Structure 1
Amino acid sequence: MQEIKNYTMNFGPQHPAAHGVLRLVLEMDGETVVRADPHIGLLHRATEKLAESKPFNQSIGYMDRLDYVSMMCNEHAYVRAIENLLGIEAPERAQWIRTMFDEITRILNHLMWIGSNALDLGAMAVFLYAFREREELMDCYEAVSGARMHATYYRPGGVYRDLPEVMPKYGESKWHKGKDLERLNQWRGGSMLDFLDAFCADFPRRVDEYEELLTDNRIWKQRTVDIGVVSPEQALAWGMSGPMLRGSGIEWDLRKKQPYAKYAEVDFDVPVGVKGDCYDRYLVRVEEMRQSNRIIQQCVKWLRANPGPVMVRNYKVVPPSRVEMKDDMEALIHHFKLFSEGYAVPAGETYAAVEAPKGEFGIYLVSDGANKPFRLKCRAPSFVHLSSMDAIVRGYMLPDVVAMIGTYDVVFGEVDR
């Protein structure tokens, strides 16, 4: 009788299948996974080395392009690391704005995740629903920074500018006219804070819609319950964080355990799972969207009541205003010097981490006193989670690998760096 041998197959690197350019080499015994070998590096852009070759202030935009679904959270870790070494602290209003935009970013990330993960497992409508809300929040990114994705809005010492008093409106076109145009501009009659008030009042109902489609859906539960179980011990051993860790029942969240920005002053809950399977991680992310909505509402309330500066007054790290440059030659020189040479950061090393939507995103920064980093190292949650793929998916079926990749929520910009 001829012995039947295992066979290997490539899963990816087709982008829609593998959530990026992951090449997963699977050793299969029939439909059962015997071994999974992730091959990475197909999106390598040398972000860390590029950051070491440029002045500190020119690398903020590179951070947006790491986890390109959690843009401002990446910026936050980087500018916090620079602020630690410079010994400066952003004004209070800037800290509240950062907190608010971190949570806007968390919702943006989870909307992308719930839509793409549902699409992976055969549910089409959720993707369209989630992008409906995502477009509204992308308008907030565009309103403060001019860019819908790569904002470069956070700066050492604060944020680029204060929140706009007027939200951009849709104009009449062959796609939008009449009552449709009125509906699209319904929330846009006032400031960004007015817009966010309206969005936050409406958003819980939208999350209910996603849950109505998925949470008790028989097919969804068959694809996710008891699939990709990560025990608490495994989660800790692999260095997991974020929803991957909390889905396994461990209540660890940097916003609570090591508060930064204004997280110590806002009220929110940290959802945790029980089984550590794909379904638990889904429930954790859905509840995180609701909690982020709560935090945004608290930030909006504080920002309405407390005007103030959003940037430190320090010409060494912040450019002077156009008005100041017209009357002050020294300010003009500072402006040119800042954008051509940057600023020197005192020698030392620091680690700054934020609770990004996918987990702990950290920046280890070493300065030798020059105007660019001596060493920059990113601690990316997607890289850590992906490294556990082999240990987690062994013994599961091939379609379960799809569910597992989806629930990892990997983005390859921060894996390959």
Structure 2
Amino acid sequence: MVTPAFSDCINKLGVDEKDVIPFGRNKAKISLDVLDKPAAPGKLILVSAITPTPSGEGKTTVSIGLAQGLQAIGKKVCLALRQPSMGPVFGRKGGATGGGKSSLTPAEEINMHFTGDFHAITSAHNLISAIIDNAMFFHTLNIDERKVIWKRVMDMNDRSLRSIIVGLNKQGFPRETGFDITPASEIMACLCLATSYKDMEERINRIVIGFTTDDKPVFARELGITGSVMALLKDALMPNLVQSVEGVPCFLHGGPFANIAHGCNSVLATRMALHFGDYAVTEAGFAFDLGAEKFLDIKCRQSGLDPAAIVIVATARALKMHGGTALADLKNTDVDALKNGLANLDAHLDAAAHYKRPVVVAVNKFFDDSREELDAIVKHCAERGIPCAIADIFSQGGEGGKDLAQMVVEAADRSSAPFKPLYESDLPVEEKLD
């Protein structure tokens, strides 16, 4: 397979040359000015999944394969996905650019330094850390060193730095702190929810970095360095453009973890995908009960985004694990275990039903899946009245995603009431949980 030239991807979008900031030959940043130009917004497709297992479910691969399938049936489509963190890339997880014939390119650059966004976020975060220590040294904000909640960050797994003591020099204030990973930075969460430079600035100003000796919150705006932080983030706020191996444009931007933030790519990248595509495919991290619910309850609430359809990814392998099959035995056909594991799929389908959006199940096909297992999943979904497609997108790319794409188009084209969150922001926590 020969990947189309990156210039073809830019031309496909119709972006003015002045709004493209090249980063080498195969990636670029796109100016926020493009969003000021009139365009009919596309339909947003949210991809989520069943509960993750070590066997892998492939949300990113399916997102890319679905987008390529939509292109294959003649639809104008864009992707909006998260940038991977180098910590998991060099740890157990590996790369995060899809797989096989449903991949993004340039994969190696995306999985490492890319356009420097994570470096900028790391620098901005640690600038705040340094100024907090400076404020304590000069006693300017009455910060209680025991109540500083702002740590430092780096985009790497380094267990020894999670808990450290700083300030051991003669002029310092010894205190316990540590390093989080860059996707856990509140700067990352702010960037991915921001709708403009002004909105980003306001979000930074509202950050609570610690408390005074009399338990009053100290806000980042009191440090007097928001302008400097924004200078470091000037380019990072612009979404990155890459493409899939079949030439589908992808706005790849931001990467907050879903266990500590909202686990979605940036609002700005999603808006660009909707701006340029009749259909925009995006993904939420982890399973529906974490990533997708945060996408809907946080990202959509704050941005006004309104998904037209939801795709839940499952695999025969993962369902067998949920049904009791050991990881080493997944290559063996076990329809009974798979049927037991379908309870996990059902739980996520039940959760998705609360949001009143059409749902499609995508079965990410592995080469050794048996026909009996795949048929059992399709039959189960049919009994629930849920469309289900076998997506052979790893080995066949867009061609293997055409059935899924057709089902998603039919689902997304149904009329739905405007999206409404399940709870109001001002409710007590217990009521929100209910």
Give the TM-score of the pair, scaled to structure 1: 0.25
> Which structure has more helix as a fraction of its residues?
1
Give the TM-score of the pair, scaled to structure 2: 0.24
> Which structure has more strand as a fraction of its residues?
2
